[in-house]
Amino acid sequence: RLGAVVVSDACEAADQHHTLARLSLARVVCVPVELGNRFFGLLYLADGGAFRTPLEPVAALVRSVAAVAALALANMERLRVNAQLEAEQRAMFDGTMHALIATIDAKDPYTRGHSARVADFAHLLASHAGMNEVDAGRARLCGLVHDIGKIGVSEDVLRKPGKLSDEEFQQIAAHPVIGHDILRGIPQMSDILCGVMHHHERFGGGGYPHGISGERIPLLGRLISIADALDAMTTNRTYRSARPMSAALE
């Protein structure tokens, strides 16, 4: 009743033959969908006898389709694994960054949460300036890590309520360079290093660490500078009380 049947070893169990018999099929071509030692399943092509096409060309076609299907399924699996790996790496990266930021926050309770707020302000400013979401995301990341160099600054200097001495100011002024040096070995940070280095430059000059001005300051550095200043004005510091947001925006 089955007529000519081409089956792989995986199809030769008796229950498979009984199933085919109940379907009253004249011909069935069954080939494995596999790639190397990976087995994905079986591909069937069957008819009830209405077609008289020679069986072997049909079997060759089914084998070709099965090979393409196996390759596609293997690629889908590879993409899924890669996506999972990237997600895990991203989570590890984000966790490391937040741990570093928490270290900075622990050094100076008056600026706790400063980096997260600057990140939010930077993203908002970038979005309102018409930057695409990728660039706005870079601005957020830069805002999050812009003060990472304060890890290398004495806690006594960071917490000092009064005016800094020249030597103490030099310590503070070094933190953009320290931050740049900490982050430059991380590939994900390459696009934001300029913002970390130049977020204390001033458009009119007189900033640090390089004293550059105007459009010589990278756009990301200017953006983080604004976000940094906005948060500084609207939070309590050792040397003054917070201003209302409306006053800061003026």
| pLDDT, tens digit, 9 for 90 and up, residues 69-84 | 999 999 999 999 999 9
The pLDDT-based confidence of 206 (bands split at 50, 70, 90) is: very high
Tokens read off for 68: 């393409």
3 state SS of 30: strand
Distance from chain centroid for Cα 247:
36
Average pLDDT, the chain: 83
177, 197 contact by CB (below 8 A): yes
The fraction of the chain above a pLDDT of 70, given in percent, is 80
Tokens read off for 130: 């018409």
Mean pLDDT, rounded, for 86-96:
87
The fraction of the chain above a pLDDT of 90, given in percent, is 48
pLDDT for 22: 59
- Alpha-carbon distance 118 to 124, whole Å? 10
The pLDDT-based confidence of 9 (bands split at 50, 70, 90) is: very low
- Alpha-carbon distance 72 to 14, whole Å? 30
Q: How far apart are the first and last CA of the chain?
A: 89
Mean pLDDT, rounded, for 107-116:
80
The pLDDT-based confidence of 248 (bands split at 50, 70, 90) is: low
pTM of the model: 0.67
What stretch(es) of the chain map to CATH 1.10.3210.10? 109-248
The pLDDT-based confidence of 26 (bands split at 50, 70, 90) is: low
Residue 10 has pLDDT above 50, yes or no: no
- Alpha-carbon distance 124 to 136, whole Å? 8
CB contact set of 240 (below 8 Å; sequence gap of 6+) = none
Report DSSP state, residue 103: H
Tokens read off for 219: 């756009």
- Catalogue the E-assigned strands of the chain: 5-6, 27-35, 38-47
Residue 245 has pLDDT above 80, yes or no: no
> 109-248 falls under which CATH superfamily?
Hypothetical protein af1432 (1.10.3210.10)
For Cα atoms 56, 58, 60, give the angle at the middle one, nearest 5 degrees: 70
pLDDT for 135: 96
Prior bond of 176 cis (ω within 30°)? no
Residue 222 has pLDDT above 90, yes or no: yes
- Alpha-carbon distance 47 to 45, whole Å? 7
Which residue is listed with tokens 């200043």? 229
